[in-house]
Amino acid sequence: MLAQLVQYARSHNLVAEPGFAPKTVRWSFVLEPRSGSVEVLDLAAEGGSGRTFAKSPELSQPEIKRGGPGCRHFLIDSADVVALLADDSEDPKLRAKHKYFTGLLRQAAAVMPRLADLAAVLDDGAALARVRDTLRSQKAKPTDKVTFAIRGETPLYPVDSDLWHDWWRNFRRTLGAERPRPARRSRGDGRLVRCLASGELVEPAATHPKIAGLSDVGGLSMGDALASFKQESFCSYGLSQSANAPVSEEMAAAYRAALNHLIAERSRRLAKTKVVCWLENPVPAGDDPLAGLFDGEPSTVRSGQRPGLPANRYYALILSGAAGRVMVRDWMEGRCDELAARVDSWFEDLSIVRRDGAGLARPPKLLAVLGSLVRDLRDLPAPWESMMWRAAVRGERIPAQAQAAALGRLKIEILQNEAFNHARMGLLKAFHVRQGDSAMHPNLNEKHPEPAYQCGRLMAVLAALQYRASSDLGAGVVQRYYAAASSTPALVLGRLSRTAQSHLDQLDPGLARWFENRLAGIWNEIGDRVPPTLTLREQSLFALGYYQQLAADRQREAAA
């Protein structure tokens, strides 16, 4: 996984040098060189969250600690540090950070003289007060990122220049980066260990940079660590900190750059996780089978249509955050032609007749399938997302937990007389198809061999019969008897069948004969095999028989 992330960073020319990282900035202080005045520019005015600077200076948390009291970043920082935009602008700790920030600008003025002018403005209490008033009037937050520009025909951003790069590299060296302790290994092979990302012998980074973009799935706004070892119980063979998962500082920066880019540009949120997926060789959007899975659009890709498809590969991660750490819930990779075939099979297995019987329902998005399992997506257990993802991408069976959850929601749907959820019914059908039920079709199969399925059909016809005989009772029949009939059909369906004759007597002779023939046909399929009780698997067959019979009847009525 790490090797593929590093390769992604290289192929996309992402900044992967330690001490540098992309940063998105909301506000810019634009300096007028002649007058010394400062204008506040909103970099998100044209949409988005701001402007992203591809190669910004960055310090790790350990480096900030080693920098001493008040140590801050360079050129880009939060509005409370840069402009003292806080409820208490006289807070000594905040003042120390502000002083450190302006001090860095003055030091770097040796290579970029204009930075001294910026530092002078930040030290001018009156000028800074005007900047704060402007920020407050534009609803700026203390945590918003701020950078600088020099007025010209177009603003010149110092962070875009490479003049400060060498100065910054030298400054980071002055922080006295600690080296991890030598690995106490049984053979005493020195300080170098094998890097998990490159396979080379390296001195591992003591700490790894934070991964951003998971705050909406359990992560922290400041970022989360992919490799982190704090407790002694997680350390092995005397190895300290991240030497337990040895990766060089360069490789850690590379996989971090790749993950940050993928989460920002190539991720899809499910409920409590994010799916990050990419192809080794990009293809047009309409040919990406992974995109079609989320959009509910079966892929147009076929191995015979695209000669290069078998050589292409896909990679996919499922991520979430927990207590400052990145949780990798799943990782998979494989050939794109196999992926396209499995995604097509997923949609085919989910295909189900519309509730009105007018053709097949639209293929559901993956998120709609997950939503069909619970009352609210927030209630969905995170492990279920991984299981359903593997069912779609790997062609695995539908988990029994998902089938049981869908069945439970369906019963509530029926008892409350709500419209059927197509994704839920398709999922129940797919469960049986992937269990090897070749008789399970998208539409009604009057010859399905399972008695439970035929009992569901019988329930639908008996309810329709009673509705025709006494229209004011139709919904009540289902609401009163469905739950019991789907678990103990012999007891309930026998009772309903005995009262069917009185309902037939209330119908016109022609309609009564039509219902008699339908009931007789279903009883002929059931024979003497009416089950006394049904398992969860059989209850879902009952539900499908009931649903598909209703859809067939509605289609017949619409065509009459």
Cβ atoms of residues 8 and 282 within 8 Å? no
Q: Does the pLDDT of residue 306 top 70, yes or no? A: no
Give the 3-state secondary structure of residue 251: helix
Same domain for 417 and 476, yes or no, is no
% of the chain exceeding 70 in pLDDT: 91
Establish if 150 belongs to a structural domain: yes
Same domain for 307 and 259, yes or no, is no
Establish if 371 belongs to a structural domain: yes
Same domain for 289 and 408, yes or no, is yes
Q: Domains in the chain: how many in total?
A: 4
Same domain for 400 and 530, yes or no, is no
Q: What is the pLDDT of residue 84?
A: 94
Same domain for 256 and 275, yes or no, is no
Same domain for 258 and 383, yes or no, is no
Domain that holds residue 133: 17-174
For residues 421-448, b (16+ Cβ closer than 10 Å) or e, as one string? bbbbbbbbbbbbbbeebeebbbebbeeb
Q: What is the pLDDT of residue 178?
A: 43
Report pLDDT digits (tens) over 8-22.
Answer: 998 888 877 888 988
Give the 3-state secondary structure of residue 326: strand
pLDDT band at 63 (very low <50, low <70, confident <90, very high): confident
Average pLDDT score over residue span 220-226: 88
Establish if 180 belongs to a structural domain: no
Among the candidates 263, 281, 308, a domain finishes at 263
Q: Does the pLDDT of residue 382 top 80, yes or no? A: yes
φ/ψ of residue 54, rounded to 5: -65, -35
State the Cα–Cα distance between residues 554 and 560, nearest whole angstrom: 10
pLDDT-wise least confident of 172-181, 200-209, 314-323, 376-385 = 172-181
Nearest C-alpha neighbor of 132 from the set 40, 28, 70, 37: 40
Same domain for 22 and 167, yes or no, is yes
State the Cα–Cα distance between residues 482 and 484, nearest whole angstrom: 6
Establish if 74 belongs to a structural domain: yes
Average pLDDT score over residue span 53-74: 89
Residue 269 token pair: 């949120």
Report pLDDT digits (tens) over 472-496.
Answer: 554 567 888 899 999 999 988 888 8
Establish if 3 belongs to a structural domain: no
Nearest C-alpha neighbor of 506 from the set 532, 533, 548, 472: 472
User: Cβ contacts of residue 202 below 8 Å, gap of 6+?
Assistant: 192, 193, 194, 195, 246, 247, 248, 251
Same domain for 286 and 389, yes or no, is yes
pLDDT-wise least confident of 119-128, 172-181, 335-344 = 172-181
Same domain for 229 and 347, yes or no, is no
| Eight-class DSSP state of 190 | -
Same domain for 326 and 403, yes or no, is yes
Work out the mean pLDDT of the chain and round it to a whole number: 87
Report pLDDT digits (tens) over 522-540.
Answer: 999 998 888 999 999 999 9
Nearest C-alpha neighbor of 320 from the set 446, 429, 236, 226: 226
Nearest C-alpha neighbor of 249 from the set 174, 212, 195: 195
Residue count of the chain, please give it.
560
Report pLDDT digits (tens) over 255-279.
Answer: 999 999 999 988 999 989 999 999 9
User: Cβ contacts of residue 464 below 8 Å, gap of 6+?
Assistant: 474, 515, 553
State the Cα–Cα distance between residues 487 and 497, nearest whole angstrom: 17
Establish if 46 belongs to a structural domain: yes
Same domain for 154 and 35, yes or no, is yes
67: number of Cβ within 10 Å: 18
- When computed from its CA atoms, the radius of gyration of the chain, rounded to whole angstroms, is 32
Establish if 77 belongs to a structural domain: yes
pLDDT band at 285 (very low <50, low <70, confident <90, very high): low
State the Cα–Cα distance between residues 202 and 165, nearest whole angstrom: 25
Cβ atoms of residues 342 and 392 within 8 Å? yes
Establish if 429 belongs to a structural domain: no
Same domain for 55 and 78, yes or no, is yes
Among the candidates 358, 389, 424, a domain finishes at 424
